[in-house]
Structure 1
Amino acid sequence: MALSMIGIGEQRKIVEVRAKDSVKRHLQSLGFIVGEKVEIVAENPSGLILLVKGSKVALNKGIANKIIVS
């Protein structure tokens, strides 16, 4: 399931990042690593506010669709 499809307050584990290598490296530097837990804190029309590794990160929904969680 894509990260953009889970609800606010839900916590899931990252299982895969389906993106180009440059995007993957950038997301990994932000803490989006396979096996890491991620939680949706808030949502707005353009994207999501996520909590990963104790930090809040904003992602647009296009990028959130590339992060697969379970």
Structure 2
Amino acid sequence: MMPLSMAKEGEPNVIKKVGGKEETRQFLENLGFVTGGMVTVISQMGGNLIVNVKESRVAIGKDMANKIMI
């Protein structure tokens, strides 16, 4: 397992765990980051990520990406 922030661009990954406080987990789940779901990093700039999750593009910061384990 590794954090989403370390994923290679363009490579589909399965979300294994979403960490953080309850409100953080709920926020990420509402965006589509659920255990067992697929996520693909589209681009990475300055630690911030643009990812494809549930057929939509989402921009997240490095701190949030570190809470999502793949």
| TM-score normalised by the chain length of structure 2 | 0.95
Partner of 1:38: 39
- The offset of 1:12, in angstroms, is 0.4
Q: What percentage of aligned pairs have identical amino acids?
A: 39
Aligned-residue RMSD, C-alpha: 0.7
Letter in 2 for 1:62: D
Listed as ranges, the gaps of 5+ residues in structure 1 are: none
Partner of 2:60: 59
- The offset of 1:46, in angstroms, is 4.2
Letter in 2 for 1:24: R
- The offset of 1:4, in angstroms, is 0.4
Partner of 1:21: 22
* Secondary structure in 2 matching 1:33: coil
Listed as ranges, the gaps of 5+ residues in structure 2 are: none
User: Residue by residue, what CA displacement relative to the aligned partner does 1:11-42 show, whole Å, maximum 9, x if unpaired?
Assistant: 10001011100010010000000000000001
Partner of 2:7: 6
Letter in 2 for 1:9: G
Give the strand-richer structure, 1 or 2: 1
